[in-house]
C-alpha cells in the first residue's frame, strides 16, 4: 500500500485507501453541516464498505454510467445519500441527458455537494433516479431499494438467458449490490423480496446489511431483536459476516465469497458504528439524522488525522486513485462490451436489434399487428377477458414484454398462453410468465427494478390490493417508469366478496398520483385501444382498471370509435344535431349503464350525450378546444356515473352537477342486488339527468 502525506501541515500519514475513505466521510459530514440537515452517521460508518466495493469490485464506468452491463449499486438506506454523492463525485461520474446521452460535465460537481439538499442541487435529500446520473433508483422509503434490486437481478437473469449466445456467454453478467440498514431489514417489503430472491436463487444479488443497532428512536433493542442471519438462511440465502466495517480485507473476502457463490443470493452482515470517529455521537441515534455540529466535526476530523479546519477537502491523489481503480477497470470493461456488441450485431442481428430498441424504450416494428377487433355484442365479455386477448396478441410481438401476477393470474387473466412463453423459475430464467407470489408490495418494487434495466414489465392483481403496493407504485411514478399495472375486479362488480374486496377510494388514489396514467376502459375495443396507449408510454406508469364481470361490446358502427380512448374522453353517443341539454359521463362498466339511460332519454325526446371517460389524465392533457368540444361549458346539466367514491368528479360535473358514486365500503351480495342498493340502475341515471336539466334551465 502506498502512503501519502495528507497535507503539508499535517504530521499524519495514511494509506491512499484510508485517505479515500476519510474523504468520503468528511465530505458527508461537511455537506450535512452546511445544509444544517441530513444524515452524516451512516456515510461515516459505511465509507470503508462502499469504498471497497466500488474501488475493488464494482464493474462500473464513471464516464458511461448507463452502460447496460454495469454492476448496479443501490443505496437502499436512501437517507445516507451523501455516501453515494461522495462516491459519484470522487469517481468522476459524468452527467447523462434525459435521452441517455453522456455529457461531458460531472454528474456531481463539488458545488452540488456544497449545495446538498438545496433547491435544484444534483444532491437532493434522498437519491433520485433521472435527476442525478449514477443514481440507479430512487430510494428513501426504506425497503424499496432492496426489493427494487431483486427486480434488477431478475431482469439480468432474463436478459442473460435470452441474449447471451454462443461466443457471447457474458454479454449480460452484471451483479446487483444493495446497501441497507436496520430500517430496510424491518420493513415487510424486504422480507417479501428476499423470500422471492431466495426462491429464485438469484446468485447475482448481494445485499449488504449495516448492522449498527441504531435507528431513529435509539437502539434496535427497542423493536428489533430477531436473528437476521438465521432468517436469511431460512430464505435460502448465503449469509456471511464482517465484524468490523473498517476491516478492508474481511470486506474484500466477503465480496469474493459473493462472487464465487453461484446458486443463491448473498447477504453480508457488517457490524458498524454509526457516526464512526465522532467522540460524543458515535453509536448513538444522534449521529443518524442531524448535523454533528462544528465542534464534533472538528474532533472527528482530528480522529481521522484530517486537517480540522478544512471543509470539503479532497486531498491530492484521491481523484486519481479512483480514476485508476474503479475508473480504469470500468472503462476497459465497458469499451470491451461495446466492441463485442458490434460483433454480436454481426452474428445475431435480430437479437441485437431487440436489445437496441429495448434499451431505448422503443417498441419493435409491427408491435401492434394482429390486435383483436371485437364485434358488437350486447352480452359482451369482461374487460379482464378482452385484456387477456389483447395482451397475448401484443406480447407475441414484443419479446421483452414480461410479467405476471401476485398469485392471481387465473383471475386477472394476465397469463401469456402462447407457445414458448414459459414460466420464469429458478430452472428457467427465459420464461415470460412471472409468479410474484402473494407479495404485492414486492411485485411493485420488482417491476420498478425490471423497468430500470429496461425490459417492459407488467404486474397484476386485484384492484383493491393496490393499497398493499402503493409505496412501490408511487416510486414507479416518481421515477417515470413505463410499467403496466393490470388491476382487475375494479368495483362492487366483484359482488359476493364484499367490502374487503370492493375498491371504492382506489380510483381516487390513483388519480391523485402525479404522473400516473389510469385507464378504465368500458368495453373490449376500448381495452385494445387502452393497451395501445400504455404500450407507447415512455415515461409514465399506467394502471388498467378492468372488470371481473361481463360488459357489452358497444356497436361501433352506430357509436363513436374506441380510438377516442387516446384522448382520455370522447363523445360516444350524441344528441341529435350535437346539441345536448344534458351530459352523462361514465367510465368502465358504468358506460353501458349510461348508454341504457341515454336510449331511454332519447326515446322520451331528451337531448342527451354520453361521454366515455376512461382516463382523466389523458383527457386533462388535451387542448382546451377539444375538452370544450366534449364537455361544452354552456351545458351545465351533467351526471357522472362510477361505482366508486365520487371524490373529484365535480371537476367535470361542476359544483352543481350530479355524481352517482359510492360513499361506503360496499356490501356482500350478488351484483344485481348491489346495483339496486347503490343506485346503479337506469331509472336513477334517467332521474338524475332530468333533475339536472330542470336545475339548469335558463
Ligand X SMILES: Cc1ncc(C[n+]2csc(CCOP(=O)(O)OP(=O)(O)O)c2C)c(N)n1
Binding site for ligand X (CB under 6 A): 42, 77, 79-80, 140-142, 181-184, 187, 210, 212, 214-216, 274, 288
Interacting residues of 634 by C-beta distance below 8 A, sequence separation 6+? none
For 243-299, the DSSP string reads: S-TT-HHHHHHHHHHHHH--SS-EEEEEE--TTTT-TTTTTSGGGTSS---HHHHHH
Backbone phi, then psi, for 40, in 5-degree steps? -85, -30
Q: Which stretch binds Mg ion (CB under 5 A): 13-21, 186-194, 211-219, 380-388?
A: 211-219
For 633-656, the DSSP string reads: TT---EEEE-SS--TTTHHHH-TT
Q: Judging by DSSP bridges, how do beta strands 570-573 and 608-612 pair with one another? A: antiparallel
Interacting residues of 697 by C-beta distance below 8 A, sequence separation 6+? none
**Residue 216 Cβ vs ligand X, minimum distance, rounded to whole Å:** 5
Q: Which stretch binds Mg ion (CB under 5 A): 158-166, 206-214, 368-376, 542-550?
A: 206-214
Residue 220 or 553 having the CB closest to ligand X: 220
**Which cell is 159 given?**
436478459
DSSP 57: I
Residue 272 touching Mg ion (CB under 5 A)? no
> What is the dihedral sign for C-alpha 95, 97, 99, 102?
negative
**Which cell is 578 given?**
350535437
Cα gap 315→313, rounded to integer Å:
6
**Residue 150 Cβ vs ligand X, minimum distance, rounded to whole Å:** 17
**Residue 553 Cβ vs ligand X, minimum distance, rounded to whole Å:** 44
**Residue 47 Cβ vs ligand X, minimum distance, rounded to whole Å:** 13
Interacting residues of 153 by C-beta distance below 8 A, sequence separation 6+? 176, 197, 202, 204, 205, 265, 449
Residue 42 or 615 having the CB closest to ligand X: 42
The kind and range of the H/E element at 602 are helix 590-603
Selected from 182, 187, 526, 617, the binder of Mg ion by CB under 5 A is 182
Q: Which stretch binds Mg ion (CB under 5 A): 79-87, 113-121, 210-218, 424-432?
A: 210-218
**Residue 222 Cβ vs ligand X, minimum distance, rounded to whole Å:** 12
Q: Judging by DSSP bridges, how do beta strands 377-382 and 401-405 pair with one another? A: unpaired
**Which cell is 612 given?**
366515455
Q: How far is CA 103 from the centre of its chain?
A: 25
Residue 212 or 525 having the CB closest to ligand X: 212
Q: Where does 112-222 show beta strands of DSSP type E?
A: 176-180, 205-211, 214-215, 218-219
Cα gap 258→274, rounded to integer Å:
25
Quick one: what does residue 501 bind among Mg ion, ligand X, none, with the CB cut-off 5 to 8 Å set by partner type?
A: none
Q: Judging by DSSP bridges, how do beta strands 582-586 and 608-612 pair with one another? A: parallel
**Residue 189 Cβ vs ligand X, minimum distance, rounded to whole Å:** 9
Cα gap 87→21, rounded to integer Å:
10
Residue 117 or 334 having the CB closest to ligand X: 117
Quick one: what does residue 532 bind among Mg ion, ligand X, none, with the CB cut-off 5 to 8 Å set by partner type?
A: none
**Residue 101 Cβ vs ligand X, minimum distance, rounded to whole Å:** 33
**Closest residue to Mg ion in the complex (CB):** 182
Residue 181 or 588 having the CB closest to Mg ion: 181
Quick one: what does residue 641 bind among Mg ion, ligand X, none, with the CB cut-off 5 to 8 Å set by partner type?
A: none
247-265: string of b/e by CB count within 10 Å (b at 16+)?
bbebbbebbeebeebeebb
Q: Which stretch binds Mg ion (CB under 5 A): 6-14, 180-188, 248-256, 379-387?
A: 180-188
Quick one: what does residue 589 bind among Mg ion, ligand X, none, with the CB cut-off 5 to 8 Å set by partner type?
A: none
**Residue 284 Cβ vs ligand X, minimum distance, rounded to whole Å:** 10
53-68: string of b/e by CB count within 10 Å (b at 16+)?
bbbbbbbbbbbbbbbb
Q: Is the Cβ–Cβ distance between 418 and 391 less than 8 Å?
A: no
**Residue 387 Cβ vs ligand X, minimum distance, rounded to whole Å:** 32
**Residue 285 Cβ vs ligand X, minimum distance, rounded to whole Å:** 7
Quick one: what does residue 140 bind among ligand X, Mg ion, none, with the CB cut-off 5 to 8 Å set by partner type?
A: ligand X
Task: Give the active site residue among 440, 526, 529, 590.
Answer: 440
**Residue 124 Cβ vs ligand X, minimum distance, rounded to whole Å:** 14
440 is catalytic: yes
**Residue 345 Cβ vs ligand X, minimum distance, rounded to whole Å:** 43
Quick one: what does residue 288 bind among ligand X, Mg ion, none, with the CB cut-off 5 to 8 Å set by partner type?
A: ligand X
Residue 190 or 640 having the CB closest to Mg ion: 190
Residue 77 or 543 having the CB closest to ligand X: 77
Q: Is the Cβ–Cβ distance between 206 and 174 less than 8 Å?
A: no
> What is the dihedral sign for C-alpha 209, 63, 203, 426?
positive
Interacting residues of 76 by C-beta distance below 8 A, sequence separation 6+? 139, 142, 143, 144, 145, 146, 148, 149, 178, 179, 180, 181, 184
Quick one: what does residue 95 bind among Mg ion, ligand X, none, with the CB cut-off 5 to 8 Å set by partner type?
A: none
Quick one: what does residue 121 bind among Mg ion, ligand X, none, with the CB cut-off 5 to 8 Å set by partner type?
A: none
Any idea of the CA torsion for 574, 576, 580, 582, to the nearest 10 degrees?
A: -70
Quick one: what does residue 124 bind among ligand X, Mg ion, none, with the CB cut-off 5 to 8 Å set by partner type?
A: none
Residue 216 or 512 having the CB closest to ligand X: 216
Residue 183 or 588 having the CB closest to ligand X: 183
Q: Is the Cβ–Cβ distance between 496 and 673 less than 8 Å?
A: no
Residue 182 or 440 having the CB closest to Mg ion: 182
Residue 181 touching Mg ion (CB under 5 A)? yes
Selected from 212, 387, 433, 506, the binder of Mg ion by CB under 5 A is 212
Tell me the CA end-to-end span of the chain in Å, nearest whole number.
89
Residue 445 or 611 having the CB closest to ligand X: 445
Of 445, 462, 362, the C-alpha closest to 410 is 462
Total binding residues toward Mg ion, as defined by CB under 5 A = 4
Residue 80 or 318 having the CB closest to ligand X: 80
Q: Is the Cβ–Cβ distance between 588 and 547 less than 8 Å?
A: yes
Selected from 112, 214, 391, 592, the binder of Mg ion by CB under 5 A is 214
Q: Is the Cβ–Cβ distance between 283 and 273 less than 8 Å?
A: yes
Residues, the chain, total? 698
Q: Which stretch binds Mg ion (CB under 5 A): 30-38, 139-147, 209-217, 354-362?
A: 209-217
Binding site for Mg ion (CB under 5 A): 181-182, 212, 214
Residues forming the active site: 440
Amino acid at each position: 500500500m502506498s502512503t501519502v502525506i495528507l497535507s503539508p501541515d499535517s504530521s499524519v500519514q495514511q494509506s491512499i485507501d484510508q485517505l479515500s475513505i476519510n474523504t468520503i466521510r468528511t465530505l458527508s459530514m461537511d455537506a450535512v453541516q452546511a445544509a444544517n440537515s441530513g444524515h452524516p452517521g451512516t456515510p461515516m460508518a459505511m465509507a470503508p464498505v462502499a469504498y471497497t466495493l466500488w474501488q475493488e469490485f464494482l464493474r462500473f464506468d464513471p464516464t458511461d454510467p448507463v452502460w447496460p452491463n454495469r454492476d448496479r449499486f443501490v443505496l437502499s438506506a436512501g437517507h445516507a445519500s451523501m455516501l453515494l454523492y461522495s462516491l459519484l463525485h470522487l469517481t468522476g461520474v459524468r452527467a447523462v441527458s434525459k435521452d441517455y446521452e453522456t455529457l461531458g460535465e460531472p454528474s456531481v460537481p463539488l458545488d452540488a455537494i456544497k449545495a446538498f439538499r438545496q433547491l435544484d442541487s444534483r444532491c437532493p435529500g434522498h437519491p433520485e433516479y433521472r435527476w442525478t446520473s449514477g443514481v440507479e433508483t430512487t430510494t428513501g422509503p426504506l425497503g424499496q431499494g432492496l426489493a427494487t434490486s431483486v427486480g434488477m437481478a431478475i431482469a439480468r437473469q432474463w436478459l442473460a438467458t435470452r441474449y447471451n449466445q454462443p461466443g457471447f456467454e457474458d454479454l449480460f453478467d452484471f451483479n446487483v449490490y444493495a446497501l441497507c440498514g436496520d430500517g430496510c431489514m424491518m420493513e415487510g417489503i424486504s422480507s417479501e423480496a428476499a423470500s422471492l430472491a431466495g426462491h429464485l436463487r438469484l446468485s447475482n444479488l448481494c445485499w449488504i446489511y449495516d448492522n449498527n443497532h441504531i435507528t431513529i428512536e435509539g437502539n434496535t433493542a427497542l423493536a428489533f431483536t430477531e436473528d437476521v442471519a438465521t432468517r436469511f438462511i431460512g430464505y435460502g440465502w448465503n449469509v456471511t459476516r464482517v465484524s468490523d466495517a473498517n476491516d478492508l480485507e474481511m470486506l474484500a473476502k466477503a465480496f469474493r465469497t459473493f462472487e464465487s457463490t453461484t446458486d443463491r443470493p448473498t447477504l453480508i452482515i457488517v457490524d458498524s458504528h454509526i457516526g464512526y470517529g465522532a467522540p460524543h455521537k458515535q453509536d448513538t441515534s444522534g449521529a443518524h439524522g442531524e448535523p454533528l455540529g462544528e465542534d464534533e466535526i472538528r474532533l472527528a476530523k482530528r480522529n481521522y488525522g484530517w486537517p480540522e479546519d478544512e471543509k470539503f477537502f479532497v486531498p491530492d491523489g484521491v481523484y486519481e486513485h479512483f480514476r485508476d481503480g474503479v475508473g480504469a477497470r470500468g472503462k476497459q470493461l465497458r469499451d470491451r462490451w461495446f466492441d463485442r456488441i458490434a460483433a454480436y450485431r454481426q452474428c445475431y442481428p435480430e437479437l441485437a436489434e431487440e436489445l437496441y430498441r429495448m434499451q431505448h424504450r422503443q417498441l419493435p416494428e409491427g408491435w401492434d399487428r394482429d390486435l383483436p377487433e371485437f364485434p358488437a355484442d350486447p352480452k359482451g365479455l369482461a374487460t379482464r377477458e378482452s385484456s387477456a386477448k389483447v395482451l397475448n396478441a401484443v406480447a407475441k410481438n414484443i419479446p421483452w414484454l414480461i410479467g405476471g401476477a401476485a398469485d392471481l393470474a387465473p383471475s386477472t387473466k394476465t397469463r401469456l398462453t402462447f407457445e414458448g412463453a414459459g414460466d420464469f423459475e429458478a430452472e428457467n430464467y427465459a420464461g415470460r410468465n412471472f409468479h410474484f407470489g402473494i407479495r404485492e408490495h414486492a411485485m411493485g418494487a420488482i417491476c420498478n427494478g425490471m423497468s430500470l434495466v429496461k425490459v417492459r414489465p407488467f404486474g397484476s392483481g386485484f384492484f383493491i390490493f393496490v393499497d398493499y403496493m402503493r409505496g412501490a407504485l408511487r416510486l414507479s411514478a416518481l421515477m417515470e417508469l413505463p410499467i403496466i399495472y393490470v388491476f382487475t375486479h375494479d368495483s362492487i362488480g366483484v359482488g359476493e366478496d364484499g367490502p374487503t374486496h370492493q375498491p371504492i377510494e382506489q380510483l381516487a388514489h390513483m388519480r391523485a398520483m402525479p404522473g400516473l396514467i389510469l385507464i378504465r376502459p368500458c368495453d373490449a375495443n376500448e381495452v385494445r385501444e387502452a393497451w395501445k396507449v400504455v404500450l407507447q408510454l415512455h415515461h409514465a406508469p399506467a394502471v388498467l382498471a378492468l372488470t371481473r364481470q361481463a360488459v357489452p361490446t358497444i356497436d361501433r358502427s352506430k357509436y363513436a370509435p374506441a380510438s377516442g380512448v387516446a384522448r382520455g374522453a370522447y363523445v360516444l353517443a350524441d344528441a341529435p344535431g350535437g346539441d345536448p341539454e344534458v351530459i352523462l359521463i361514465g367510465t368502465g362498466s358504468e358506460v353501458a349503464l349510461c348508454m341504457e339511460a341515454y336510449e331511454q332519454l332519447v326515446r322520451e325526446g331528451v337531448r342527451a350525450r354520453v361521454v366515455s371517460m376512461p382516463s382523466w389524465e389523458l383527457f386533462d392533457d388535451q387542448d382546451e378546444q377539444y375538452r370544450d368540444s366534449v364537455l361544452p361549458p354552456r351545458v351545465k346539466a351533467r351526471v357522472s356515473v362510477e361505482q366508486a367514491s365520487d371524490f373529484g368528479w365535480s371537476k367535470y360535473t361542476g359544483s352543481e352537477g350530479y355524481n352517482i358514486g359510492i360513499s361506503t365500503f360496499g356490501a356482500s351480495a350478488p351484483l344485481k342486488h348491489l346495483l339496486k342498493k347503490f343506485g346503479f340502475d337506469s331509472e336513477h341515471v334517467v332521474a338524475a339527468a332530468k333533475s339536472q336539466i330542470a336545475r339548469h334551465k335558463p
